[in-house]
């Protein structure tokens, strides 16, 4: 696809996800803790389309740089209530596009690894607090921040499902069977769930992604 058209589609999609989250917040009364994660998952799933939207990683990297600036301004001035965090020191929305840009630059030639490296951030970190808030019965505290066992398990399961699907289904190298994709997906999911549990103030967007990159980059496919 033409990079300009891909860039336009990318922007329309991301702002559409943000708009949908705002609509949920205003019309359905969902809190920003939920709508932030709608954006997390929705934007993260854009990675599945990147090999068809662009023939180079750089247009997406430029988009990520733009959203880093926009998200920082939103953190400072509160343009989008659906992206607000209860923790005023949480810069997770700024770290998200940074992490995505790094993943795309490293794994552009290997789409299954590129998408798999972003699934812990998109689905694992996206669902963990939602599940924890809805079903959490076994809390624990890390650096003064509350977590739940149920949220951590939710992270692991969601991450495992989508990391496995990315490694198995996406075309490109490495070509893996369903069985061959399961072990690396399991290792990525377990280790990133553990690092997410001890990361605070949005740093999990960096630590989770960095660990996923390290495992997938060094895995003997």
pLDDT score for 74: 85
pLDDT score for 66: 94
pLDDT score for 88: 64
Residue pLDDT, tens place only, 85-139:
655 667 888 999 999 999 999 999 999 999 999 999 999 988 988 898 888 788 8
pLDDT score for 32: 72
pLDDT band, residue 194 (cuts 50/70/90) = very high
Report the percent of the chain where pLDDT is more than 70: 95
Residue 166's Cβ-count burial label (10 Å; 0-12, 13-18, 19+) is: buried
CB 51 within 8 A of CB 6: no
pLDDT score for 86: 56
The domain locations on the chain are: 3-218
Q: If you average pLDDT over residues 23-39, what whole number do you get? A: 81
Q: If you average pLDDT over residues 38-62, what whole number do you get? A: 95
Residue pLDDT, tens place only, 124-183:
988 988 898 888 788 888 776 778 999 999 999 999 999 999 999 999 999 999 999 999
- The rounded distance, in Å, linking the Cα atoms of 218 and 142 is 29
pLDDT score for 77: 84
Q: If you average pLDDT over residues 200-217, what whole number do you get? A: 91
- The rounded distance, in Å, linking the Cα atoms of 211 and 199 is 12
Residue 142's Cβ-count burial label (10 Å; 0-12, 13-18, 19+) is: exposed
pLDDT score for 35: 85
Q: If you average pLDDT over residues 17-35, what whole number do you get? A: 82
Q: If you average pLDDT over residues 59-68, what whole number do you get? A: 95
**pTM score of the predicted model:** 0.93
């Amino acid at each position: 696809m033409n990079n300009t058209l891909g860039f336009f589609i990318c922007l329309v999609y991301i702002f559409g996800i943000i708009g949908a989250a705002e609509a949920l917040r205003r019309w359905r009364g969902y809190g920003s803790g939920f709508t932030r994660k709608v954006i997390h998952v929705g934007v993260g799933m854009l990675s599945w389309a990147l090999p068809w939207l662009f023939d180079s990683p750089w247009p997406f990297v430029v988009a990520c740089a733009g959203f880093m600036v926009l998200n920082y301004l939103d953190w400072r001035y509160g343009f989008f209530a659906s992206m607000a965090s209860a923790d005023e020191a949480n810069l997770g929305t700024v770290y998200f596009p940074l992490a995505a840009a790094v993943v795309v630059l490293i794994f552009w030639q290997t789409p299954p690894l590129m998408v798999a490296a972003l699934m812990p951030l998109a689905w694992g970190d996206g669902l963990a607090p939602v599940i924890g808030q809805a079903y959490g019965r076994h809390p624990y505290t890390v650096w003064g921040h509350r977590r739940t066992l149920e949220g951590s398990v939710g992270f692991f399961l969601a991450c495992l499902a989508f990391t496995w699907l990315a490694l198995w289904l996406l075309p490109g190298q490495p070509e893996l069977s369903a069985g061959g994709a399961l072990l690396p997906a399991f290792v990525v999911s377990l280790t990133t769930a553990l690092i997410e549990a001890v990361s605070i103030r949005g740093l999990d967007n960096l630590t989770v992604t960095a660990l996923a990159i390290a495992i997938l980059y060094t895995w003997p496919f």
